[in-house]
């Protein structure tokens, strides 16, 4: 019964992610903006193939002038971000489901059979492969020589970054009904913070996997399995001594990194994601509303409702604007100061499910589910 329930949730997630906006088509925001934003599309290409379901944590990565992309068929490619020239590529014999993740020296990807692959980031030479117990649905992270990776059956692994050998395992049971998404661990120093499917955050010591603290974002409640879903499916992040995280059907919260005690919490359900910038935290709500919250106390700085009904990506920041893709194939720019919608560009006729990537030059790269990448630049 548990496997059937998870299949139903996966189907529902695909249907939701593929749905069109609940709104009528939005007018061009530049027509009403005091300071309209002109966006230049300067390149489009197809460096990889299909990424398939948005449940897979396949999204582009940028580091030190290089864009890394991977697809569901097993292709991994490194591109010069300025010229878009291929620096190296590889084709694995397994369908990929997570990554790529760039670390100091390694590029990490995960597959549907539970394998973590490590490449030399500069040359693309394979370094090691390690098998986990189940499908990899979250991107791994590296800190202090330890790769922290999750498998879909509730296990978290600590792997030696030198050879991929297993250092420790942390395990918690998975509820009967969950979103078919896992959040990536957030790492800082010797600690990895993991968002679980039961609505909790757990902080692990990366040397041995022991628990430093636990914090409940949302206590599963309700009469049905659906009402009790409380996945922390959006990636938490660590900044200025606090962990910021959000639970599905639950709350966004700031938690002290040292102790796991709560600074503040707000009822803004999301499984899409959040980002911090300056003195504010930006959250893409499950209803399509976008929130700016004061990082000190969670107070609302602004809320943008014009995208309500759309399924949004995790927001990113580009040159004073908050940028989000949506399920209607558009990219949206909101002004950071007041949340005004100042530009909206249609790039695709299919949903944009992966968050855009901003390069060191300030250019924005957007990858759609078919593997087409588009590069955009602000004036």
CATH code of the domain containing 85: 2.40.128.630
DSSP conformation class of 6? H
Is 109 within the bounds of a domain? yes
Asked whether 88 and 107 are in contact (CB, 8 A), the reply is: no
Is 194 within the bounds of a domain? no
What pLDDT was estimated at residue 146?
98
Is 154 within the bounds of a domain? yes
CA–CA separation, 276 and 267 (whole Å): 18
- Helix (H) / strand (E) containing 302: strand 300-304
What pLDDT was estimated at residue 11?
36
Asked whether 195 and 150 are in contact (CB, 8 A), the reply is: no
- Helix (H) / strand (E) containing 18: helix 2-18
User: What is the DSSP secondary-structure string of 78-101?
Assistant: EEETTT--EEEEEE-SS-EEEEEE
Is 135 within the bounds of a domain? yes
What pLDDT was estimated at residue 143?
97
What pLDDT was estimated at residue 175?
58
CA–CA separation, 162 and 334 (whole Å): 42
CA–CA separation, 287 and 309 (whole Å): 6
What pLDDT was estimated at residue 156?
97
Q: Which residues are CB-neighbours of 353 under 8 A, at least 6 positions away? A: 17, 51, 54, 313, 325, 327, 369
Q: Which residues are CB-neighbours of 143 under 8 A, at least 6 positions away? A: 187, 188, 189, 190, 191, 192, 206
Cβ neighbours around 98 below 10 Å, total: 26
In the chain, the number of structural domains is 1
For 64, the domain range is 55-171
The contacts found for 172-177 with CB under 8 angstroms, 24 or more apart, are 172/196, 172/198, 172/202, 175/220, 175/225, 175/228, 175/229, 175/230, 176/1, 176/2, 176/5, 176/225, 177/5, 177/6, 177/9, 177/225, 177/226, 177/228, 177/229
CA–CA separation, 214 and 222 (whole Å): 22
What pLDDT was estimated at residue 4?
36
Asked whether 72 and 97 are in contact (CB, 8 A), the reply is: yes
Name the token pair of 278: 């300056």
What pLDDT was estimated at residue 280?
97
What pLDDT was estimated at residue 29?
60
Q: Which of the residues in the chain have pLDDT under 70?
A: 1-35, 53-55, 175-180, 220-222, 225-230
Is 211 within the bounds of a domain? no
CA–CA separation, 291 and 82 (whole Å): 33
Asked whether 245 and 253 are in contact (CB, 8 A), the reply is: yes
Is 46 within the bounds of a domain? no
Q: In what order do the strands lie in the sheet with 273-277?
A: 273-277, 280-284, 290-294, 300-304
CA–CA separation, 150 and 55 (whole Å): 14
Is 296 within the bounds of a domain? no
Is 39 within the bounds of a domain? no
Three-state DSSP class for 358? strand
Handedness of CA 211, 217, 223, 226 (dihedral sign): negative
């Amino acid at each position: 019964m548990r496997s059937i329930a998870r299949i139903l949730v996966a189907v529902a997630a695909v249907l939701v992610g593929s749905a069109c906006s609940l709104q009528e088509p939005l007018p061009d925001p530049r027509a009403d903006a005091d300071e309209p934003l002109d966006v230049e599309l300067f390149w489009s290409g197809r460096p990889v193939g299909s990424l398939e379901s948005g449940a897979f944590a396949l999204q582009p990565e940028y580091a030190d002038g290089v864009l890394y992309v991977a697809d569901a068929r097993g292709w991994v490619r490194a591109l010069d971000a300025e010229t878009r020239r291929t620096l190296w590529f590889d084709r694995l014999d397994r369908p990929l489901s997570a990554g790529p993740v760039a670390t100091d020296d390694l590029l990490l990807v995960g597959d549907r059979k539970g394998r973590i692959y490590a490449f030399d980031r500069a040359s693309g030479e394979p370094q090691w492969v390690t098998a986990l117990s189940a499908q990899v649905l979250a991107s791994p992270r590296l800190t202090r020589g330890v790769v922290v990776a999750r498998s879909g059956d509730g296990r978290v692994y600590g792997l030696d970054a030198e050879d991929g050998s297993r250092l420790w395992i942390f395990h918690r049971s998975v509820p009967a009904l969950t979103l078919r998404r896992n959040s990536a661990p957030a790492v800082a120093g010797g600690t990895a913070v993991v968002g679980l499917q039961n609505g909790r955050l757990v902080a692990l010591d990366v040397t041995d996997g022991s628990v430093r603290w636990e914090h409940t974002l949302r206590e599963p409640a309700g009469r049905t399995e659906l009402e009790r879903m409380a996945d922390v499916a959006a990636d938490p992040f660590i900044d200025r001594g606090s962990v910021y995280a959000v639970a599905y059907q639950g709350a966004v919260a700031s938690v002290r990194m040292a102790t796991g005690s709560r600074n503040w919490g707000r009822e803004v359900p999301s499984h899409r994601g959040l980002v911090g910038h300056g003195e504010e935290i930006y959250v893409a709500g499950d209803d399509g509303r976008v929130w700016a919250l004061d990082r000190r106390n969670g107070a609302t700085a602004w809320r943008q409702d014009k995208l309500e009904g759309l399924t949004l990506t995790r927001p990113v920041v580009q040159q004073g604007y908050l940028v989000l893709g949506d399920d209607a194939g558009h990219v949206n720019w909101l002004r950071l100061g007041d949340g005004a919608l100042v530009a909206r560009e249609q790039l695709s006729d299919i949903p944009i499910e992966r968050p855009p990537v901003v390069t060191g030059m300030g250019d924005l790269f957007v990858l759609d589910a078919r593997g087409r990448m588009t590069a955009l630049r602000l004036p």
